[in-house]
Amino acid sequence: MTNEIWAVVAFLATFILLVLMYRLYGKNGLFVWVAIGTVIANIQVTKTVEIFGITATLGNVLFASIYLATDLLNDIYGRATAKKAVWLGFASVIVMVVLMSISLAFTPAESDIAQDSMQTLFGLVPRIAIGSIIAYIIGQYIDVYIFNWIKKRFSSDRTFYIRAYGSTTISSLIDTALFSIIAFYGVMPGAVVFEIFVTTYLFKLMTTLLNVPFGYIAKSFAKDVD
């Protein structure tokens, strides 16, 4: 299949799984989603692909789903719960970086086949993780703040899309800019870094526009889950 078809598959799989996690496990399911999603997205983002004729990194869909998860926690359970999820994601990345860095420090056996591949993948992750952590914390806190600011003016269930679109559009712009500079500047040519920033933000924006219906589906379960 082409990359474009895989992009559709990735989008549907990501948000269907997010909704299922909430339906089956309630608030804890969203906490788990933020934690594992942040770890997986930081691994995915090391891969660059050509899609729709432009260069982009993977992880955009998963990062967008994390914003939706925190928006749902914010909307249903309140600002303090959303902040707790943000810090849970932060802690998850720290744990991954520390443990994988220790794993790479081991001298591999002569029969080992994994060290070079792990070094290629996780040797880059610390820099990406630093960029991700800084961008993640700042972006998520801005998202939570803007979401609550909008909610004071548009508080009904029907206007969830206004809160989700408004907060994520602004916060993901700042998140993407910070991440692109910290993670890739000096590693890739400036023109490529700028292209990654633009395409990453556009993909996140497009994903946000398409994922809010899944947010409404998840919200419809709120009375049936903890």
Give, for all 226 residues of the chain, the pLDDT tens digit. 798 899 899 999 999 999 999 999 999 999 999 999 989 988 888 788 888 777 777 888 898 899 899 999 999 999 899 999 989 998 998 898 889 889 999 999 989 999 888 888 777 666 777 777 788 888 888 988 899 899 888 888 888 888 888 888 888 889 888 888 887 777 777 787 887 788 878 888 888 888 888 988 888 887 777 6
Structure tokens at 125: 């992750």
What is d(CA 66, CA 88) in angstroms, rounded to the nearest whole number? 12
Residues 181 and 193: beta-carbon distance below 8 Å? yes
Entry pTM = 0.86
Q: Which residues of 162-187 are buried (b: 16+ CB within 10 A; e: fewer)?
A: ebbbbbbbebbbebbebbbbbbbeee
